[in-house]
Structure 1
Amino acid sequence: MHDSLIDDEKAGISDSSGTLMNKINESTVSMSTKILNELGIQSIIDVPKDLRVLFSALDFTTKHNDFHIPLQKRGDGLQTRHIPYILDFVARRSKTHHIWAYEEPENSLEIGKAYELARQFKTEFSKDNQIFITTHSPAFYDISGDVAKRFHVYQDKRNNDSDMFSHTAVITSRNEADSFVGTAAFIATRVKSLIEEHKELKNSHLELKKRLQESNLPQIVVEGPTDKIIFDKAIEVLFPNDSFCEIISANCATKLQSYLEASNYVSKDTSLPIIGIFDNDMEGRVAYQKIKNVRSLEGMTGKVISTPKKIYALLLPLSDEINTIQEAINENMDGTFNVSVPIEFMFPSGVLNSAINDGAIELEHITTNARDRDTIIPTNITEIVSQHIEKEEYRHLAMKINDSTKGSFANWICEQPDETFTPLKEFLEQVKVLCQT
């Protein structure tokens, strides 16, 4: 770093060191005068001609909360992450071409950070540097593309020679590389998937947070864009001239859960409530149940995530009739079947049948495979459950919606008479009260 800064005229290190010494000597002029008078020698403080001595005493200082901590006192992983930035800084300011020899950069890094560093090697540090890496980590040998070539280096005998020699072979696929590291490859595949999922959730949360900051109304966050279309229309026709909230789509139940929990920790207290509404189906219930350490919301199927910040999670309600049907199914089957009620099933069977006849929505049978050791038997859950639903108009509860038709149904329902949305009125009236608390 010393050499690159000295060579970089824009940095002005040499001029700055001269200015520093002038200031020091101005402050110590009385001492220099006494030395001259008593010893007859003119003596001043001077900076070393080779500033490497000074640079060897420099160190990074890192901030942690309100404390400034020398980098050497931090963990090995954090120290390791600084190295490529320093090397890249030197290379960009040097007049010579640099070749990096980097041994096992994954050392001291947890696997998620290893993938981050590998991405930086590919997209940033390799732009102005030639880099040789040795690694045992899938995070690094998974680097591919025009900027990378991969080799397997191993020991083996040559011909009939008894001595061992180093050999190299070009790696042509990730599967080939995985075979060299064994079970680590399977673990890494799962971790990489989780890292990408976490990144997507983080981006989604930042987008939702931005929307919240820009809004002047309470926020109703729903699972998907079709839920938003239906709720927007329902509020328009059921509460004319009363825009008491803004509906936002989280794009899935998992992102909705993540956003609500994160808002509790990172958002400041606000006078505007944040209310998440989950579908009462398997995906929605799983995400809803993951919200822990909260208290129940009185009068609704919901949770109070934060009273000061007015953050709530709601589950679409089951009518008394549907609850009775579900109890009867489980009693007759001597098992457990949880009826799924996405927002589309909040509408009565007559509306759903009209939508089916108009080609706006498709319902499918729920199927699975029953397994017993080596035996696999296809099982139609819909046919089994339907036998225990007496009323024909409720047998759609034993089926599932073809996801590809959710958009067409949302558009179709918005074209129906205003009274079509009456089944949502009681629930939305409760939501409105929550918005105004």
Structure 2
Amino acid sequence: MSLDPNALVKDIRLLTESMSSEILDRLKIDSTINIPDSLQDLFRALDFSTRFGQHEIPLIMRGDGIQSRHLPFILNYISAKSSQYHIWGYEEPENSLELSKAFEMAKDFQERFSQENQIFLTTHSPAFYDISGRRAAKWYIESMHDGERVSSQIQSIASTSNVDKAMGLLSVITPRMKKVYSDYVELKESITEMQSRVDSAECPVIYVEGPSDVTILNTAKEKLGFQEMNVRFESANGASDITQFLKISIRVKRDNRPLIGIFDSDARGRREFDNFRNYHKLTDTEFRTLERSRKIFVGALDVPTHLKPAEAAFRSVGLTLPLPVEFMFEQSVILSAVQSGTLNLIERKAKIANEEFPLEVTIDSVLKGKLDDSYLYLAKAISDDCKTNFATWISDRPANDFEPFREILRQISVAIT
């Protein structure tokens, strides 16, 4: 009976499909086994082909980090298909990996590869020596020289902080590395959630900084006659998340449904918006065009007409007018909200860096006499605790109170058409 090469190739693809699927799920790299044409070559070499954009690139031609991330999956696959017990010896798995990838690989070793394998590894990375749990044992090995001979001293690791100190600079760097990775994981989860909401939307999505922005802009849209503008405002829960999501969308967004990020014009919002200042303006708007064909734009709240004199006054003393979404409203509206207890303005404080007089002062007291008293409320901060209540309170105000938002809504209308 002859052997059908096509049938054999099909069987091998089926056998390796689970490994490729696991690599795609964990590494987000589309990797498939390349099957040579002849049976002789088939058993001589099996090689991965990895997808990069529209191209397929042999794994051997990818960077060391990508190659090293594949290796434990291949080893684990071999172990899973064998009836024997496997022991791994793995030297410094963190080599060639950026920080976040080292932590991800450590998690894979603990949660996946160690389930059916005995693994011995050496490492200098806190990503690995921080691994803990019933199935993990850690030892610190130090070379000792007593003048006559060299020996190795081995001791169980009870506290990773001691290891951090023994590593020299890592005692300073390690806590920061752990915090950065924790922030990275949190940001990654946030962006995944944001992407899911965009994918499920049937209309253009506008990302704003917080839930109160969503409520206020939705109300403004209804009260100013933009009801037929079919958009969805979504909270990014922070200015920096808008930035990260837009940067990722530039690379991965495939449809041409408009996506817009809008920052408040306070210090944090301006700082994030500055990341996109070099992009071209969208015609007839102050928005920047990040990707024209896929309609990705970014903007910030404009200073409304009634605050132009205040903006000029702040600029005259070398300051920039802080403009969170709540301060877009007329002064009379703000004062009414403060008097009703809906809006809580907090004194901003600063320390005078003077050796003789190291004083703490309030910002509005420093500015008093330099700015018109009617502008001093703009030098205060808004308590986070009252933002939701204010957004609800303002929703019952007359349409005329929302005029400061007409311009930003007009620009949104231009961007989505």
TM-score by length of 1: 0.77
Structure 1 counterpart of 2:50, one-letter code: K
Contact 1:115 1:192 in 2 (8 A): no
Note the C-alpha offset of 1:125.
1.2
Aligned counterparts, 1:31-430, within 5 A: 57-65=44-52, 69-156=57-144, 163-239=149-225, 241-268=227-254, 270=256, 272-331=257-316, 333=317, 336-371=318-353, 377-392=359-374, 394-430=375-411
**Where does residue 431 of structure 1 map in the other structure?**
412
Secondary structure of 1:295's counterpart equals coil
Higher-Rg member (1/2):
1
Note the C-alpha offset of 1:121.
0.9
Change (3 A) 1:142 1:211: same
**Which ranges of structure 2 fall in alignment gaps of 5 or more residues?**
9-39
| Cα-to-partner distance string for 1:325-346 (whole Å, 9 max, x where unaligned) | 2333443x4xx22111111001
Shifted more, 184-193 versus 261-270: the winner is 184-193
| Cα-to-partner distance string for 1:397-425 (whole Å, 9 max, x where unaligned) | 11111122212222222233444333323
Note the C-alpha offset of 1:372.
5.9
Identity in percent: 33
Structure 2 counterpart of 1:108, one-letter code: S
Measured in 2, the distance between the counterparts of 1:217 and 1:72 equals 43
Change (3 A) 1:157 1:182: closer
Measured in 2, the distance between the counterparts of 1:150 and 1:121 equals 14
Measured in 2, the distance between the counterparts of 1:215 and 1:323 equals 36
Measured in 2, the distance between the counterparts of 1:241 and 1:74 equals 51
Change (3 A) 1:365 1:310: same
Residues paired across the two proteins, number: 384
Q: CA RMSD in A?
A: 3.3
Measured in 1, the distance between the counterparts of 2:296 and 2:180 equals 27
Structure 2 counterpart of 1:303, one-letter code: R
Structure 1 counterpart of 2:64, one-letter code: D
| Cα-to-partner distance string for 1:30-51 (whole Å, 9 max, x where unaligned) | xxxxxxxxxxxxxxxxxxxxxx
Change (3 A) 1:307 1:82: closer
Contact 1:102 1:134 in 2 (8 A): yes
Contact 2:348 2:364 in 1 (8 A): yes
Change (3 A) 1:186 1:376: farther
Secondary structure of 2:276's counterpart equals coil
Aligned counterparts, 1:6-25, within 5 A: 19=3
Shifted more, 141-150 versus 221-230: the winner is 141-150
Secondary structure of 1:176's counterpart equals helix
Contact 1:370 1:377 in 2 (8 A): yes
Change (3 A) 1:402 1:127: same
Shifted more, 290-299 versus 67-76: the winner is 67-76
**Which ranges of structure 1 fall in alignment gaps of 5 or more residues?**
1-16, 25-52
Contact 2:315 2:321 in 1 (8 A): no
Contact 1:301 1:316 in 2 (8 A): no
TM-score by length of 2: 0.80
